[in-house]
Amino acid sequence: LGMLKVRQKQYNQAIQAIKTSLSIRKKINDRKGIASSLTALANIMIALDDATSAEYYLKQAESLMNELN
């Protein structure tokens, strides 16, 4: 749902959907899914020209992926 909202440029709704997904993924400890959600949030922040938030989410995703590898 979040990515559909991104394609429709409904970024606020996309953020909410992806954050909901992120919360669920954290509860079930789906680490790859968490990294995916964080990357999706970073991409939205880039689209919104919010480099600071994009960097924040990307660093979290990168750290998590490094732990997995």
- Residue 42 CB contacts under 8 Å (≥ 6 apart), including other chains: 53, 54, 55, 56, 57, 58, 61
DSSP code at position 13: H
Query: Given pLDDT bands bounded at 50, 70 and 90, which one contains residue 30?
Result: very high
- Given a cut of 80, whether residue 60 has pLDDT beyond it is yes
Q: What is the percentage of the chain residues whose pLDDT exceeds 70?
A: 99
Task: In whole angstroms, give the CA distance from residue 49 to residue 63.
Answer: 23
Average pLDDT over residues 33-57: 95
pTM over 0.85: yes
Instruction: Tell me the per-residue pLDDT of 15-29, one tens digit each, with 9 for 90 and over.
Output: 999 999 999 999 999
**pLDDT (0 to 100) of residue 18:** 93
Task: In whole angstroms, give the CA distance from residue 66 to residue 39.
Answer: 14
